[in-house]
Structure 1
Amino acid sequence: MRLVFGLLAIGIGLSGGMAAAQTAAEREACMPDYQKYCSGVAPGGGRIFECLAKQLDQLSPACKKVVEAHAPK
């Protein structure tokens, strides 16, 4: 499970639209959505964040808030 959290943090944290590192609460908010929609996405280069952003309408309210907060303006 730690590996999955780490991969999510790396994938989201390296996206071009993210200015700050993810908090544990933000990673936790998106973990179920990551596992459901993006588990096959290789981390790095913002690919996980992009995947979650493409599923925005399907995300849990908590994860949707995280993705929207870190989306490029």
Structure 2
Amino acid sequence: MSKLSFAAIVVVAAFSGAASAQSADPRGACKADYDKFCAGLAPGGGIVACLNGKRDQLSATCKAALDSRKKK
């Protein structure tokens, strides 16, 4: 296997792992939705409540992260 092929596999694996980790963490999975719908709220200022209030407009990734947060 060439070094370039190996490097490409490593990069793809790293990104796929980061994507799955991000979907489990609402801070990463919901960043774009937070920026769009709840910007200006500080931590502890009801960010989760704000996001849940806009649930029908959130990305699927953010919804899944919020759902996994409820199960813990």
Could you tell me which runs of 5 or more consecutive residues in structure 1 were left unpaired when the two chains were aligned: 1-23
Alignment correspondent of 1:62: 61
The amino acid that maps onto 2:58 is L
| Match in the other structure for 1:31 | 31
State the AA in 1 paired with 2:41: V
The percentage of counterpart residues that share the same residue type is 46
2:44 and 2:54 mapped to 1: Cα distance? 18
Backbone CA RMSD of aligned residues: 2.2
Task: Specify the alignment match of 1:52 in structure 2.
Answer: 51
Shift of 1:48: 0.6
Aligned counterpart, 2:40: 40
Note the residue ranges of structure 2 that are not aligned, 5 or more in a row. 1-20
After superposition, residues 1-16 of structure 1 pair within 5 angstroms as none
> Greater CA radius of gyration, 1 or 2?
2
Q: TM-score, normalised by structure 2?
A: 0.56
Is the helix fraction higher in 1 or 2? 2
Aligned length, in residue pairs:
49
Residue 71 of structure 1, CA deviation: 3.3
